[in-house]
Amino acid sequence: MRRLTALVDSCLLPTVRGRGGRLPDWVLHSLENGAPGAAVDVRGPAARVTAEALKAALPDALTGHAGPPPTRRPEHAARTDGCAAAAELVAAGANLHLAVRPGARADDTRVFVTDLQTHGVAAALGPFTAGGATSLRPFAEGAAAGVRAITAGHAPAPGDEEVPAMLSARAVTGVLRGELGYRGVVLSDTLDRPAIVDGWGVPGAAVLAWIAGVDLVRLGPSSGAGVRDAIHAAAARAVADGDLPQQRLEEAAERVARLRRWASEPRMPE
């Protein structure tokens, strides 16, 4: 049971909004128990302070951030280049860009992902929904470029219209792993959307995401210690019932550990 508890925490990514550089006690406990890091849900100087608190608790933590905010001016709608995004994220203390959007033109995604990751910031490309050939192209580009993570989204997967892509084995295991041959980390989008909460509950959705092939489940900013405890209880029941093989969690934890090691290595690009 202790091994299972550590496995579950190692496959969870909490979201934090640091208050004066202090992390919630339940997040600190999760980090002590194996959680790989956290997503930082603030911008500006507060982001750096929160990231430093996270690194103080876990020096090689995955520190996720949504990256530069999108522009609201149509004439400036072009994507920020990966080098500039990396510089902004590094300044914020982050090593994981959680909101890398697919490029509209051929090769956009490959260039952005390559530039970002050359500067030591792992890219999480998404949202992936297993759409048609046009929608799959950027993800094939990203996979070929060595993108470190892909985020399975909330939108339904084609052919599985009642289930979000992040809960769909057809989308994650069938299309992303099978058709595209992707071998990196698959993240879920955050689980605090009303449709997820009302349809499956956060603990149930976390278990279904792991069963579908997701490796790292993201908890939204509204989730707290009670949600974490409920996920642990739901995962223990699913493993005991045979619905969630412990081997699936071990596989997910190993992929997350590889991402964490990659993100914590210092890089000096030319």
Per-residue pLDDT of the chain (270 residues; tens, 9 = 90+): 789 999 999 999 999 987 777 899 999 999 999 999 999 999 989 999 999 999 999 999 999 999 876 554 433 333 468 999 999 999 999 999 999 999 989 899 999 999 999 999 999 999 999 887 678 999 999 999 999 999 999 998 877 778 999 999 999 999 999 999 999 999 999 999 999 999 999 999 999 999 999 999 999 999 999 999 999 999 999 999 999 999 999 999 999 999 999 999 876 554
Residue 70, pLDDT score: 55
Residue 269, pLDDT score: 52
Residue 157, pLDDT score: 82
Residues in CB range of 126: below 8 A, 6 or more apart: 99, 100, 101, 102, 150, 151, 152, 153, 187, 189
The model's pTM: 0.94
Residue 75, pLDDT score: 39
Distance in angstroms (rounded) separating the CA atoms of residues 174 and 121: 28
Distance in angstroms (rounded) separating the CA atoms of residues 94 and 19: 17
Distance in angstroms (rounded) separating the CA atoms of residues 256 and 135: 26
Residue 1, pLDDT score: 75
Quote the tokens at residue 202: 């956060």
Residues in CB range of 15: below 8 A, 6 or more apart: 38, 39, 40, 41, 190, 218, 219, 220, 221, 223
Distance in angstroms (rounded) separating the CA atoms of residues 187 and 179: 18
Contact indicator for 256, 11 with CB cutoff of 8 Å = yes
Quote the tokens at residue 80: 């920020």
Residue 131, pLDDT score: 83
Neighbours of 6 (CB within 10 A): 15
Q: What class, spelled out in words, does domain 80-264 have in CATH?
A: alpha beta
